[in-house]
Chain A
Amino acid sequence: MSAARSFGRLLGDRRLTLVLRLAAGAVLVYASLDTLLDPQPFADAIDDYRILPLGLVNATAVVLPWVELVTGVCLIAGLWTPGAGLATAALAAVYTGALTSALLRGLEIGCGCFGDGGETLSWTDLWLRLALLAAGVQILATARFFDWPLAAVSSRASRGRRATRPTPDA
């Protein structure tokens, strides 16, 4: 019982939230970089999954890397943090679903993750998406809306302003 309670405390620990935020943010920013400015190969990778109709493939390839980037930056900077956690969980859930569906259909395609396309998709590709999903849920549940480091910077700035503001009777 106490082991379960301490495990629960660990899950809610804000230091864990910070580590997960930085790790998930780094993964999302890194994943977005290859495809940000060259969406055509990413459109190919999305098309290979044969899930979206062709009419939605290009728009998805244009928008998705930027949503990943903004989500990752928000996670790292501590801005809209629970929202970024929810977006991370949603992205990871979509990727997990797409990968699982492709693997169950026996498609021999590249993952399309991190801009690669060389290696064929395998079940081991699922782990990172599941970890990202878990991180997103933890962040959604525990993070503050305005979190470290931005919150620390802004509170220091406001303390600084208070310190330098002249008092009325000075």
Chain B
Amino acid sequence: MRQRFVRSLAGAVAIVLVGGALGLLANAVSSAGIPLLASEAAPGTAIGLAAGRQVHRAGGAAFVDARPRDDYLAGHIEGALSVPLGERARELGELRRELPRTRPLVAYCEGGACTSAFELSAWLAANGWRDVSVLADGYPAWEAAGFPVTQGAAP
């Protein structure tokens, strides 16, 4: 009886090891793979233009545009979602579906003295997102640096 349990335990451990190895492998090769260590940042943590570009290129984070919708349509960071301050309450449900809360986010606005990205980051953090930093230089600096931008509504 005891021997049977020990053999069962060995089998269960083997199953967990095989499953774990397959999971790590699949995560490493899948385009939907995630970092094994989730990140956390205090809301409003500012990052610079170079760090923002690095995060954008790596592709793990989502960019959120805190500016008014018209500004977003005129031009925004490639792949960014529009979350204007006035409409964010209405969009909470949709944001929850679209943006996993364990995925890092980078909020931005016009740069300079604009505060909407910081407000948005605090609001997102209060609603459960774990890692919301702010691209302190804002959209104008991003565009001036020649980093990827697009116009019009998100696909």
With an 8 A cutoff between CB atoms, is A83 at the interface?
yes
Does A43 lie within 8 Å of B16, measured CB to CB? no
Kindly report which residue of chain A lies nearest to residue B4, judged by CB atoms: A82
Shortest CB-to-CB span from B15 to chain A, Å, is: 5
Q: Which of A19-27, A32-40, A158-166 contacts B (4 or more CB under 8 A)?
A: A32-40
A87 CB contacts on chain B under 8 angstroms: 11-12, 15-16
A40 touches B100 (CB 8 A): yes
B30 touches which of A37, A47, A82, A90 (Cβ 8 Å): A37
Determine which residue in A55, A58, A140 has the highest number of CB atoms from chain B within 10 A of its CB, and name it: A58
A85 at the interface (CB under 8 A from B): yes
Closest-CB distance, A80 to chain B (whole angstroms): 4
Which residues of B lie under 8 Å from residue A80 when comparing CB positions? 11, 14-15
- A58 and B38 in contact, given A47-B101, A67-B20, A71-B19 (Cβ under 8 angstroms): yes
B24 and A63: CB pair below 8 A? yes
Contacts of A57 in B (CB 8 A): 38, 102
CB-defined contacts of B8 to chain A, threshold 8 Å: 82-83, 85-86, 140
Interface size on A, residues (CB 8 A): 38
Write the A60-91 contact mask toward B (1 if CB under 8 angstroms, else 0).
01111111111100100000111111110010
Q: Please name all residues of chain B whose beta carbon is closer than 8 Å to the beta carbon of A74 when the two chains form the complex.
A: 15
Cα-based distance from A123 to B23 in the complex (angstroms):
30
Question: CB distance B7 to A82 under 8 Å?
Answer: yes
Give complex CA distance A47, B34 in Å. Answer: 14
Is the CB of A12 closer than 8 A to any CB of chain B? no
Q: A62-B24, A66-B20 are in contact. Are A83 and B11 (CB under 8 A)?
A: yes
Mostly helix, strand, loop or mixed at chain A's interface?
A: helix
Beyond A37-B30, A47-B101, A55-B38, is A67–B14 a contact (Cβ under 8 Å)? Answer: no
B37 within 8 A of A: yes
- Cβ-defined contact, B15 with A70, below 8 A: yes
User: Across the interface, do B34 and A40 meet the contact criterion of CB distance under 8 Å?
Assistant: yes
Please report the C-alpha to C-alpha distance between residue A80 and residue B16 in the assembled complex, in whole angstroms: 12
Say if the beta carbon of B92 comes within 8 Å of chain A: no
Evaluate contact between A39 and B15: CB separation under 8 angstroms: no
**Residues in B neighbouring A67, C-beta threshold 8 A:** 15-16, 19-20, 23
16 contacts between A and B (CB under 8 A): A38-B32, A40-B34, A41-B100, A43-B34, A44-B100, A44-B102, A58-B102, A62-B26, A63-B19, A67-B15, A70-B19, A74-B15, A82-B4, A83-B11, A86-B12, A87-B16
Inter-chain pairs besides A58-B36, A62-B36, A83-B12, 12 sampled, C-beta below 8 Å? A39-B32, A40-B32, A40-B34, A44-B102, A55-B37, A55-B38, A58-B38, A63-B23, A80-B15, A82-B4, A84-B11, A86-B8
Interface residue ranges, A against B (CB under 8 Å): 36-41, 43-44, 47-48, 54-55, 57-59, 61-71, 74, 80-87, 90, 140, 145
